Structure 1
Amino acid sequence: MEFNMKDGGFYAEFDYGRLDISGDEKYGIRPYQLLVSSLAVCSGGVLRNILEKMRMDVDDIHISAEAERNEEKANRIEKVNIHFKIKGSGLEEARIEKAMKLTKKNCSMVQSISGAITVEESFEIINDER
């Protein structure tokens, strides 16, 4: 990856388009938002694949993520809470819990920051009435 300086930050060109990055939201996505997004979406993609392999009938996964930062230590991220709303039919809590454990173990982004940032994952099931 290559990054080029611009007013208020940097940008990079990718096959899908341009990504503007800045510490100021007026000029692009903030670096901490990229980190939290990477953790959430990597986990979501891994979870989706695991649920498909478990032959679970999932229609949608909505992810919300929040970062807890320490202002006294360079405003670093110390904890990320990731919550999944999993919508489908016939979803069982015990099977989803098993999938969640596998997700944390197999998400490369979560494993990359293991020991430096705490990641807590939770979920809720929204069963469709079909």
Structure 2
Amino acid sequence: MEFTLKENGVRTALSYGTLDISGDELYGFRPYQLMVASIVGCSASVFRKILAKQRVEIDDLTIQVEVERNELEANRIEKIDIHFVIKGKNLDDEKLYKNLEVARKNCSMVRSVENSIEINETLESIELSQ
């Protein structure tokens, strides 16, 4: 990866497109947003793949995230609460939680920060009528 310094941040060109990063949201994504998005995106992608391998059919998956930062330490991310809301038929919460544990062990982003950022993952299943 190569980054170019711009007046209000940095820019990189990736295969999907250009990414602008800045401490000011007017000029790009803020670094903490990218960090949280990377962790959540990785966790959700791995979780979805595991559910597919387990043949757990879901109709919808949304993720709600709460981030706790420490203003006294450069606004460092200290805690991320990730709450998965899964809609589908014949959902088994115990099986879903086991799959979520497997996803956590296989998500490179979660594993990369596990000793510096507290990450809590919970889920809620919503049973759709058949």
In the alignment, residue 63 of structure 2 is paired with which amino acid? I
Partners of 2:86 and 2:111 lie apart in 1 by 23
In the alignment, residue 65 of structure 2 is paired with which amino acid? A
Partners of 1:91 and 1:2 lie apart in 2 by 44
1:34 corresponding residue in structure 2: 34
Partners of 1:124 and 1:13 lie apart in 2 by 37
Greater than 4 Å deviation, 4+ residue runs:
none
Partners of 1:34 and 1:98 lie apart in 2 by 27
Q: Offset of 1:62 from its aligned partner?
A: 0.7
**TM score, norm. by length of structure 2:** 0.96
Alignment partner of 1:44 is 2:41: no
* Gapped regions of structure 1 (runs ≥ 5): none
**TM score, norm. by length of structure 1:** 0.96
1:80 corresponding residue in structure 2: 80
Partners of 1:88 and 1:11 lie apart in 2 by 40
- The number of equivalent residue pairs is 130
In the alignment, residue 12 of structure 1 is paired with which amino acid? T
- CA deviations on 1:68-119 (whole Å, 9 max, x unpaired) are 1000111101111111111111111111111111111111100001111100
The share of aligned pairs that are identical, in percent, is: 49
Partners of 1:31 and 1:66 lie apart in 2 by 16
Partners of 2:97 and 2:43 lie apart in 1 by 14
